[in-house]
Amino acid sequence: MKPKKALVLILLCAMFSFACKYVVLPEGIDSTSGGSKGWTAVATGVESIDDKLRIHLTIRNETNDWSAMTAAPDKPALLSVDANTTNCATVFVSSGGHRLAPGFQMRGYIGGTKTEPVTQLLYVECEGATLADGATLTVDYIYFTGQFNYYEPEANKRDGRLEVDLSALATDLTYPIATAVEGLLQPPDATLTAINDVALTLAKIERTSEGFRFSWKTANPGEYPSYVHIGNPPVIGADGIIYGLYEIPDLASVPITPAGGEAEWATEVAAPQNVAAPQETNSLIMLLSVESGKQRLYANYAIDLSGY
């Protein structure tokens, strides 16, 4: 994967169950409770590798909405000390194509390909640079907020700039939630209303040797058959890495739910056995995108998988 490749848009993933709570299609997160800061970042480590200064980063979604981001393509980051500036050509700063929930933070994602996935940590490398007191790192980026619309992939696109103070490293971060948003997390026993009022539930959660297997069920109350696309939902855990290679949700095959009938299928995601912190709540979250409202429009849900 090339540094700074624009990982355009994005979605997330969901789960829930039938005879439980109904989750109404979200209209978006209320942004009136505080001004949006866009995305922010902190440095978590600095090391020298082959005459390159590598700065490890954690990025945080402070847009007050679900959002995906990536470093501006073909634009170096800048390392500044007083009046001296160094171009940093290697920039891996991105949500990996995924929309991350508001108040969440991350430090890596799964990149590469389906056959050869790689864990991509977030960092910037500055060739020939050294760290000095008062240094700052600047990264220009683009980001998208709200629901993902396949037909308008660049809707709600904005520009931003990360200003990272390198004088103090952040060493006590908790993932994935930096700032809790009331009402954001949904339990795995909820029922989602998807496109055409089809009810989507997470029927079963299983640990596998490779990660997780999620069994899904849909029930269609309507007079016409319907597809409900959710992609292959990723998870983010206590290590701050989003597990699951991003792809547009409707690329994943799903069965059609017949009129007045039900459908079942399963998705899987590879993740380490220690992805969730033992005994900690909210340390494992599914990022779910559900086709809702109209065809190829995806609403986002954060499903709390604590205990799994």
Distance CA(72)–CA(93), nearest Å, equals: 9
| Residue 38 backbone dihedrals phi, psi, to 5 degrees | 70, -140
What is the DSSP track for 76-105? -EEEEETTEEEEE-EEE-B-TTPPBPTTBE
What pLDDT was estimated at residue 3? 42
What pLDDT was estimated at residue 82? 85
Mean of the per-residue pLDDT values for the chain?
A: 89
Q: What is the pTM of this model?
A: 0.88
What pLDDT was estimated at residue 34? 54
Closest alpha carbon to 105 in 182, 55, 178, 42? 178
More reliable by pLDDT, 57 or 6: 57
Least confident of 23-27, 35-39, 276-280, 293-297: 23-27
Distance CA(58)–CA(12), nearest Å, equals: 19
Q: Which fold has domain 185-304?
A: Immunoglobulin-like (2.60.40)
Asked if domains 28-165 and 185-304 share a fold, the reply is yes
Residue keyed to tokens 């069965």: 255
What pLDDT was estimated at residue 97? 97
Checking if the pLDDT of 12 tops 90, the result is: no
Other Cβ atoms closer than 10 A to 208: 12
CATH number for 28-165 (one of 3.40.50, 3.90.320, 3.30.2410, 2.60.40): it is 2.60.40
Domain residue spans in the chain? 28-165, 185-304
Omega of the bond prior to 176 within 30 degrees of 0, cis?
yes
Inter-CA distances, 236 with 100, 141, 146, 230, Å: 9, 22, 19, 17
> pLDDT tens, 99-136?
999 999 999 999 999 999 999 999 999 999 989 899 99
Least confident of 27-31, 66-70, 80-84, 249-253: 27-31
What pLDDT was estimated at residue 279? 65
What percent of the chain clears pLDDT 90, i.e. is strictly above it? 81
Checking if the pLDDT of 73 tops 70, the result is: yes
The confidence band for 9, taking pLDDT boundaries of 50, 70 and 90, is very low
Q: What are the b/e assignments for 175-207, b being 16+ CB within 10 Å?
A: bbbbeebeebbbbbebbbbbbbebbbbbeebee
Least confident of 29-43, 78-92, 176-190, 238-252: 29-43
